[in-house]
Amino acid sequence: MRLGSIVMIVLLLVLIGAGTVQTKSLHISANTPETALQSFFAQVKAKHWDDAFAMVQPGSGVEKESFIKDLGGNNESLKTISALQDVKTKILRESGNESDLRADLQWSTAVGALHESRDFKLVNDEGQWKIVWTPPAKNDGPPKPLPTTYLRWDVVQRGSSRDEWGVQNVEPPRMRIISMNAIEYQGGVTILGEVVNEDTVPGFVTINAILLDKDGNSIAEESSFDKISHTLLPKEISPFRVDFANRKLADVKSVRISPTNILVPAAADPVVGVFNQRIEKDPNGKSILRGELVTQGGQTVNIPHVLATFYDQSGKVIWVSDGYVDKALLPQQAVPFAVDLRDDLAGQVQNYRITVNYYNSNRS
């Protein structure tokens, strides 16, 4: 029965070999530009920075530290809490020893899925395709922290008991919805608008919307979720957007909007400035609102969130879109951002306004 034993062992080895070949096929070699880029991102996905950097064409200005910061993030930015989920590559141009490729990257982040499109140039270096890494644009000098003299509001609790948390014995700040628009989009209903804090103290606001049918019955209920800047300083305006999937505007008789607001402590710092705003087309031909963010105070902003309100000729809100910026804002250093704009509305947009919301890891 030795033969039988040998057969069983050989069969086991064949099965293991088949399994390993199957797995290895995912770790593709770098003998074509496309497979080289796929292989590069497989290393990035596994956070094998040394192996990924080894696939980069050595050259001036390419430093491993900045390479890792570019792909892995730093300063507790959104990139630092992201993982590469999926990569799709496309050849744009191929000529001899050079190729231009586009990579559509899908990142799984702490705030949901993020998409990124990046173009890469690859060169053939002795049979192996290498990536020509473009170092991120360097800001001039180190961050410049500034002393801040912005206002800050604190809430002084009445009494010493902390058991009654969440129950405030003060009037909530006055908030008012200054515009509202209901539209149908992608098989659903979307409620757009703006809310203003009319009080002299900061407030924390959430917008809930209920769709009502012709009999006054509730059809669906949704909230603004992250399509709003929740903390509003006195006189500050925030756009909001509430999405109802799989609803028809024709079935809706009215919309009940209920803003919930409470008094919260807040500070005017950091103030984030928005510069060089412009609407343009991205390489895929989609309309994009681009610009740069600069924090004016001395604080670092870890995760900026950009809300864009688009107005038509009559000043009506026709769309609200948002986007997270995967780089942290260091004091006085400009960071680019881009927010989608619906192509069908691009022609109608007469004006737009950017609101910057943010999360700081040391805030809580």
Partner 1 sequence: MPLAAIALLALAVHGPLLLMQLPAVSTGGSAQIFLAQHYSQSWFNPWNEKWFAGFSQTSYPPLTQQWVALISRVMSLTAAYMVVQLFAVILLALGAFRFARLWVDERSASFAAIGSIFLGSLSMLVYQSGQLPATAATALALHGVSYLYGWSRSAKVLSLIKGFLLLIAAATADHVTALFGIILFAIPAVVLAITDRNDSESSERTSSAAVLIRAAVMVGLVAISATIVLAPFWSSFLSPQQQIPLPDGSRDNLLLNFSSAVRYWLIPMGAIVLALPYLFISGLAERRLRPLFFAFYVAMVLGLGGTTPVARVVLGRFYESFSMDRFTFWATLLALPLLGELATRLIERYSVKATIALAVAAVLTFSIPLAYVTAHPPSTNPFRTEPIANFLNRDNHDRFRYLTLGFGSQFAELATRANASTVDGDPSVARVLPEVAGFGAAHFDMARNYGSAGMESLRAVLKHASQYGLKFIFVRDRYYEPLLAFAGWRQIESYENGNVTLWSKEDVPPLKKIEPVNPISWFERMTWGLVPMLCSILAITLMIFFPERRRVMAEPIPFPSAETQAHRMQEAR
For residue 294, CA distances in Å to 59, 75, 98, 254 come to 30, 15, 37, 41
Residue of 262, 166, 167, 249 whose CA lies nearest to 214? 249
Decide: is 18 part of the binding site for partner 1 (CB under 8 A): yes
- What DSSP character marks residue 132? E
In angstroms, the CA 293 to CA 325 distance is 10
Decide: is 93 part of the binding site for partner 1 (CB under 8 A): no
Question: Which lies closer to partner 1 via its Cβ, residue 223 or residue 277?
Answer: 223
Minimal distance, residue 121 CB to partner 1, in Å:
28
Decide: is 117 part of the binding site for partner 1 (CB under 8 A): no
Decide: is 151 part of the binding site for partner 1 (CB under 8 A): no
Minimal distance, residue 33 CB to partner 1, in Å:
26
Instruction: Determine the 3-state secondary structure of 204 from DSSP.
Output: strand
Decide: is 170 part of the binding site for partner 1 (CB under 8 A): no
Decide: is 233 part of the binding site for partner 1 (CB under 8 A): no
For residue 353, CA distances in Å to 180, 224, 310 come to 16, 18, 7
Question: Which lies closer to partner 1 via its Cβ, residue 138 or residue 162?
Answer: 162
In angstroms, the CA 272 to CA 359 distance is 12
Instruction: Determine the 3-state secondary structure of 22 from DSSP.
Output: helix
* Piece in contact with partner 1 (CB under 8 A), picked from 53-61, 108-116, 142-150, 328-336: 108-116
Which of 10, 12, 151, 170 touches partner 1 (CB under 8 A)? 12
In angstroms, the CA 168 to CA 190 distance is 32
For the chain, report the end-to-end CA distance as a whole number of angstroms: 70
Decide: is 305 part of the binding site for partner 1 (CB under 8 A): yes
Minimal distance, residue 229 CB to partner 1, in Å:
9
Count Cβ atoms below 10 Å from residue 110 Cβ, excluding itself: 12
Which residues 199-228 are close enough to bind partner 1 by CB under 8 A? 204, 206, 208, 221-226, 228
Decide: is 359 part of the binding site for partner 1 (CB under 8 A): yes
Instruction: Determine the 3-state secondary structure of 10 from DSSP.
Output: helix
Decide: is 159 part of the binding site for partner 1 (CB under 8 A): no
Which residues 245-304 are close enough to bind partner 1 by CB under 8 A? 258, 260, 262, 264, 303
Burial 119-129 (b: 16+ CB within 10 A, else e): ebbbbbeeeeb
Write out the two tokens for 231.
Answer: 């903390």
Residue of 306, 309, 307 whose CA lies nearest to 327? 306
Which residues 312-351 are close enough to bind partner 1 by CB under 8 A? none
Minimal distance, residue 6 CB to partner 1, in Å:
9
Question: Which lies closer to partner 1 via its Cβ, residue 134 or residue 208?
Answer: 208
Question: Which lies closer to partner 1 via its Cβ, residue 34 or residue 222?
Answer: 222
For residue 118, CA distances in Å to 37, 160, 213, 284 come to 12, 55, 46, 11
Count Cβ atoms below 10 Å from residue 139 Cβ, excluding itself: 12
* Piece in contact with partner 1 (CB under 8 A), picked from 33-41, 78-86, 124-132, 279-287: 78-86
CA angle (242 as vertex; 239, 247 as ends), nearest 5:
150
Question: Which lies closer to partner 1 via its Cβ, residue 85 or residue 277?
Answer: 85
Decide: is 186 part of the binding site for partner 1 (CB under 8 A): no
For binding to partner 1 (CB under 8 A), which residues are involved?
1-2, 4-5, 8-9, 12, 15-16, 18-20, 22-24, 78, 81, 83, 85-86, 106, 108-113, 163, 165-166, 204, 206, 208, 221-226, 228, 230, 258, 260, 262, 264, 303, 305, 357, 359, 361, 363-364
